[in-house]
Structure 1
């Protein structure tokens, strides 16, 4: 993906824990929908709240890092452990100004089966 791609810019902002860069990538009305596969999922609205939630993701999985991927034809990020296991997939929806308007995060193990199918340590 190109460096000016919103997913690449989001990755750079998250990796550098750069509040200003993250704010420039997120739309002021950004919305994050979390599908955890249980009642712990939910929705967060607003640039600042979405930013806090995104910065918190890697702390729940300190052995994982983000990588730019395509998610159902959309730009996105995958949160992958060093073992190769994907523990989260983030799909992005863009506003006309190329800021990220909506983000869908799936951490439900059943929905990540496709992402983990080709891991060598899984039979």
Structure 2
């Protein structure tokens, strides 16, 4: 996989959990901002802090899967429940390593990711 494909590298490190892989893809001064729409959101800085925060957040959704997406013109990952509902979207910033993760888990902001399209025959 190309070194510049940060979303793919992050996905490989997250599932199954690989802390060494995460450390290799995250910049030492990485910044992660979580917009949850409530008090559970916030900002985390530094590789080890971001790794711990990601581990805790993903542990809350063991049945969910991660898929590569593009969001707001950037590569990213979406966290999907088995029924297909998106419960989080992470936008990745960086070139050689991830310098920023912008994560949205606010249901209102994920509404467009969860619109059901009418099935056609």
Please say whether Structure 1 and Structure 2 have the same fold, judged by a TM-score greater than 0.5: yes
Q: Give the superposed CA RMSD.
A: 1.3
In structure 1, the residue matched to 2:88 is 88
Residue 66 of structure 2 is matched in structure 1 by: 66
User: What does 1:80-119 align with in structure 2 at a 5 Å threshold?
Assistant: 80-95=80-95, 98-118=96-116
Give the distance between the partners of 1:23 and 1:78, measured in 2 at CA.
Answer: 20
Listed as ranges, the gaps of 5+ residues in structure 2 are: none
Cα deviation for residue 119 of structure 1 reads: 6.0
Q: Which runs of 4+ in 1 moved over 4 A?
A: none
Per the TM alignment, residue 117 of structure 1 is displaced from its structure 2 partner at its CA by: 0.9
CA distance in 2, matches of 1:33, 1:57: 13
Q: What is the aligned residue count?
A: 116
